[in-house]
Structure 1
Amino acid sequence: MKPQALGNVRVLDLTRVLAGPWCTQTLADMGADVIKIEHPVRGDDTRHWGPPYFRTTDGRETRDATYFASANRNKRSVGVDIASREGADLVRALAAQCDVFVENFKVGDLARYGLDYDSIRAVNPAIVYCSITGYGQTGPYADRPGYDFVFQAEGGLMSITGERDDLPGGGPQKVGVAIADLTTGLYASIAILAALNHRSVTGEGQYIDMALLDCVTALASNQGAFHLVNGLDPRRWGNAHPSLVPYQVFDTSDGKIVIAVGNDEQWRRFCQALGSKELEEDPAYARMSGRIQNREALLPRVQAIIAKLPCAHWLKEFSVRDVPNGRINGYRETFQHPQVIHRQLAVEVGSDNGEGYVRGIANPIKFSATPVQYTRAPCALGRHTQEVLEQMLGLDAQGIEALQSRGVISAAAQPARQEGA
């Protein structure tokens, strides 16, 4: 196997749900040895967010939800009760041998167990310690809990997502995936990589404070800048674009397609695909500024032409003229898309105990020298407890059995359940 970019990095992962696991899965995909610490009985919350439960490719249904599987491949699961003194001691001992510590507990929670940054830094001064919370470690809201939906609302994203108020179905909408969580996970992985680089130069570890509200607010990009520069609130445009016309969904005679005209040359070719000399030669629409100012008059004319013929006709006509276009696919169609297949965005990941393969979405990063590898399917709770404690802490079978008997660590992992079980 080829070397991986983070093959020399070990991560202790005390995260649950999505933002933290998304971060650590990203690191694991690039080769980091991610040790996922979970409650020995309950495990990660999302293990129980089913049905649906994920299945191996030979049809066996596991005991864990698909949601959990989406963010927890390439990791080793260790079940430890950190609320017990012995459990907290085990985690500190593991942290002493790790490069990165990631957690998403409420502000101050881990200090009760001696697993906060100061306590971990005492046993490993070079540690990169990343905390992920809803509102951050400081400020008037720091102690509040929250989920992605709340942060999409408070961070302004819902105010610009959804159809215009004056149209049917108008009103704020959340994004169809937990975008605040996912964005925070990606920002956190970037921050960790930067901190590791800093450590390689200086030898110093550091603390990273990541907040979902911060990250979803930063995601505002040009829309947030519009407000900061002009003092105005951006409006919702639904599937249209505030600065590009035509750039939206259109109804054909047998379905819906997306058209994205991004400049004046594309507009000229778009009109040729429509077969409309009248629109192409109309000076009111020749420049983007004119199309924006006259969108209410222009778009019904475009829609009337497109509605006469089927999707296949228009997709062909726009494609041969290099006008950006596409179908609105369900995920069944997406994963059957020729380009998605070519880019191998669906992968099968084998379990490390011979229990079959699990299908999942590939990491989109394409390295030339250190490719992403898929070495472990999302595993059963505590699957690697004994392995990690033996390898890293030198515990013997008798010591591990004693810890299991006291409920400090998880017992042997349960196998996947057979069809109909």
Structure 2
Amino acid sequence: MSANSLSDIRVIEIGTSIAVPYGCQILADFGAEVIKVERCGGGDEARRWAPVREGVSVTFLAFNRHKKSVVIDYKDARGKQVLEELIASADVVVQNLRPGALAAAGFDWERLRELNPRLIYVEMTGYGRTGPRHLQPAYDAMLQAYSGVVAMTGSDDGPPARVPLSMMDMSTGMWLALGVFEALRRRDKTGQGVHIEVSLLQTALAWVTAPLMSVAAGEPVPERLGSGFRGNVPNGAFPTSDGYVFLSAGNNDTFHRLLDAIEAPELANEPGFEDNLARVRNRRLVNDRLSEATSAFTTDELLARLTTAGVPHSAVNTLDRVLTDPQVQALGQIVTVEHPRLRDLSVVSAPITFDGEYLEHRGHAPELGVDTVAVLGSLGLAAQEIDALIEAHVIEAAPQGVAS
């Protein structure tokens, strides 16, 4: 499906790493013109993040599709003027530079509003606008640790662990995009722009809403449960004779069907197994006894039995198996597209369909500076002016028609 709901919206992304690039990619997926403003001498650091194939960071590809890249040294007076003109032409500016860095370069909210009263300005930080840590640098894993996620993750007999995904970054990007949609709707009614603030910490606190509220209500701090879940037992990865299966039984009816499936119906009558609250109190005993039973089956045997019994379950898939999984393939969300360097590239479409169709894949992440000349030309700069800025190292430009 060709997305055009934001086709008349210009977004200036002054962002690095994952959170802001991902949020702006969502806007680009919905048709916005996203112009990624990058620094001279290398651009977004994510361009050099592993894994790198054929000189291209796959991580960068994952979060920067459908964008244009311009390279401007806006600390230079001439570059600052170029960025001012670009901002004046925009609907949205999104940035996640070091706190205060953009303002120090002459682009605080007051100045941005002078340049463009209808501008929507999104400022993303690590720890928020105020507080003792508001100037501290932050990455996803730091906020997992700071918000209590790391303390809850891992096995009780091992060290705490992070979730090995950029969950805080990506979900902050989602909130960013949602905020822009709301701000655009508000601007339609008021004609005025707005200053939006999001942070990794605020997103992290949203992730821990339920356990945080439980502790505030007097419950003990959650212990590390490995693959388990504090709300019900059984819920987690259970061993088979050749691997693991993830299963869950959220009520007694499902639990009894599970016991029948693993040929252990007698456990229903044992002390500590009678209902979910009892099983939660006796978590280790219940999990140990169930593990003894599930270990008698191969993974395929147990998956088949749980399917027949109607017990929620999943294979513990590795990513290579995910790519070839029949259910994943049936959804059609992962598509193979041609890439000028990597040839066939698997791309994960935005996780939403409209009338059964995914948003259209319109292009890859841009080569550094590939759109500098065209974008500056659209602002009215003459070719001679652009050449002079390139010569003075105020801007950088790459050959057009190359995608990273």
Q: TM-score, normalization: structure 2?
A: 0.93
2:110: which partner in 1? Answer: 118
1:53: which partner in 2? Answer: 52
Please report how far the alpha carbon of residue 282 of structure 1 lies from its aligned counterpart in structure 2 after TM superposition.
4.8
Please report how far the alpha carbon of residue 83 of structure 1 lies from its aligned counterpart in structure 2 after TM superposition.
1.4
Matches of 1:369 and 1:40, distance apart in 2: 42
Pairing 1:403–2:389 present: yes
The 5 Å alignment of 1:190-205 reads: 190-205=178-193
> Mind listing any 5+ residue stretches in structure 2 that lack a counterpart?
none
1:29: which partner in 2? Answer: 29
Q: Helix, strand or coil: the match of 1:360?
A: strand
Work out which of the residue numbers 72, 84, 87 in structure 2 matches 1:80.
72
Q: Helix, strand or coil: the match of 2:201?
A: helix
Q: Helix, strand or coil: the match of 1:230?
A: coil
> Which amino acid in structure 2 is aligned with residue 17 of structure 1?
S
Work out which of the residue numbers 375, 390, 398 in structure 1 matches 2:362.
375
Change (3 A) 1:84 1:154: same
Change (3 A) 1:5 1:111: same
Change (3 A) 1:24 1:357: farther
Deviations 1:223-245 (A, max 9, x none): 11111211632222111111211
Cα pair 1:40 1:382 within 8 Å, conserved? no
> Which amino acid in structure 2 is aligned with residue 35 of structure 1?
I
Change (3 A) 1:350 1:238: same
Deviations 1:10-66 (A, max 9, x none): 11000001111111111111211110001132110111224x324xxxxxx2x3312
Matches of 1:77 and 1:271, distance apart in 2: 57
Please report how far the alpha carbon of residue 161 of structure 1 lies from its aligned counterpart in structure 2 after TM superposition.
0.9
> Mind listing any 5+ residue stretches in structure 1 that lack a counterpart?
55-60
Cα pair 1:3 1:370 within 8 Å, conserved? no
Please report how far the alpha carbon of residue 288 of structure 1 lies from its aligned counterpart in structure 2 after TM superposition.
1.3
Residues matched between the structures, number? 404
Matches of 1:83 and 1:39, distance apart in 2: 10
The 5 Å alignment of 1:218-367 reads: 218-230=206-218, 232-282=220-270, 284-349=272-337, 358-367=345-354
> Which amino acid in structure 1 is aligned with residue 373 of structure 2?
Q
> Which amino acid in structure 2 is aligned with residue 289 of structure 1?
L
Matches of 2:204 and 2:64, distance apart in 1: 22
> Which amino acid in structure 2 is aligned with residue 274 of structure 1?
I
Matches of 1:381 and 1:293, distance apart in 2: 56
Matches of 1:261 and 1:162, distance apart in 2: 21
Change (3 A) 1:357 1:67: same
Please report how far the alpha carbon of residue 371 of structure 1 lies from its aligned counterpart in structure 2 after TM superposition.
4.5
Cα pair 1:358 1:377 within 8 Å, conserved? no
CA RMSD of aligned residues (A): 2.3
Cα pair 1:159 1:173 within 8 Å, conserved? yes
Please report how far the alpha carbon of residue 414 of structure 1 lies from its aligned counterpart in structure 2 after TM superposition.
8.4
Matches of 1:154 and 1:176, distance apart in 2: 16
Matches of 1:327 and 1:105, distance apart in 2: 41
Cα pair 1:31 1:373 within 8 Å, conserved? no
Deviations 1:206-232 (A, max 9, x none): 111211122112210211111121163
Work out which of the residue numbers 97, 105, 110 in structure 1 matches 2:89.
97
Deviations 1:270-306 (A, max 9, x none): 1121122312455752421222233333222211111
Q: Helix, strand or coil: the match of 1:177?
A: coil
Matches of 2:183 and 2:356, distance apart in 1: 23
Matches of 2:238 and 2:202, distance apart in 1: 35
2:120: which partner in 1? Answer: 128
> Which amino acid in structure 2 is aligned with residue 181 of structure 1?
D
Matches of 1:226 and 1:16, distance apart in 2: 35
Matches of 1:47 and 1:409, distance apart in 2: 18
Cα pair 2:3 2:30 within 8 Å, conserved? no
Please report how far the alpha carbon of residue 360 of structure 1 lies from its aligned counterpart in structure 2 after TM superposition.
2.4
Pairing 1:387–2:378 present: no
Matches of 2:344 and 2:92, distance apart in 1: 29
Cα pair 1:350 1:376 within 8 Å, conserved? no
Change (3 A) 1:356 1:312: closer
Please report how far the alpha carbon of residue 375 of structure 1 lies from its aligned counterpart in structure 2 after TM superposition.
0.8
1:14: which partner in 2? Answer: 14
Cα pair 2:143 2:168 within 8 Å, conserved? yes
Q: TM-score, normalization: structure 1?
A: 0.90
> Which amino acid in structure 2 is aligned with residue 366 of structure 1?
T
Q: Helix, strand or coil: the match of 1:130?
A: strand
Matches of 1:321 and 1:257, distance apart in 2: 15
Mean Cα deviation higher: 105-114 or 241-250? 105-114
Matches of 1:221 and 1:89, distance apart in 2: 44
Matches of 1:4 and 1:112, distance apart in 2: 36
Cα pair 2:6 2:31 within 8 Å, conserved? yes
Matches of 1:87 and 1:358, distance apart in 2: 35
Work out which of the residue numbers 138, 154, 165 in structure 1 matches 2:130.
138
Deviations 1:179-221 (A, max 9, x none): 2212211121122221111111211211112111221122102
> Which amino acid in structure 2 is aligned with residue 26 of structure 1?
I
Matches of 1:386 and 1:405, distance apart in 2: 13
Work out which of the residue numbers 153, 156, 171 in structure 1 matches 2:159.
171
